[in-house]
Amino acid sequence: MDAKRKAIPKSIRMTVYQKCNGHCAYCGCSLEYKDMQVDHVIPLNGWSEQGTDTVDNMLPACRSCNHYKSRSTLEGFRKMVSAMPDTLMRDSNTYKNAVRFGLVIPNKKPVVFYFEKNN
């Protein structure tokens, strides 16, 4: 946590947790309350936009999604996720072989986050 950031009160954390009924807002995995991280949709330290520290700007996230999104905007994160198959094809021999053997089929489906499909 940044030195300037204040801890989010438990009552607000519970409200954020309930927004997606115990799921990560991004990937949709099940989340235990104790494992949830609170993500600021518009980052507090964004380059072009300044997010707010309000419940309206918060979503529940798993550790993996929150870490990967970091201080990206929602659209920036969507672009990063969309680029994953190309990055894997470029950088991972295991992935390339899985594609060659038909075990993995890359696709260019648009990235729709869990909270967009379920709220």
Asked, for residue 28, whether it belongs to a domain, the answer is yes
Q: Which domain holds residue 80?
A: 10-118
Tell me how far apart the alpha carbons of residues 8 and 11 are, in angstroms, rounded to a whole number: 8
* Domain at 64, CATH number: 1.10.30
Provide the residue-wise pLDDT of the chain in tens; the chain has 119 residues. 455 667 889 999 999 999 999 999 999 999 999 999 999 999 887 555 577 889 999 999 999 999 999 999 999 999 999 999 999 999 999 999 999 999 999 888 999 999 999 97
pLDDT of residue 7: 86
pLDDT for the residue 49: 59
Q: Is 61 part of a structural domain of the chain?
A: yes
Q: Is residue 3 part of a domain?
A: no
> In whole angstroms, what is the distance from residue 84 CA to residue 68 CA?
12
Evaluate whether residue 2 is within a structural domain. no
Q: What are the residue ranges of helices labelled H in the chain?
A: 10-18, 63-69, 74-82, 84-91, 93-100, 114-118
User: What domain count does the chain have?
Assistant: 1
Q: How many helices (H) and strands (E) does the chain have?
A: 6, 2
pTM of the model: 0.86
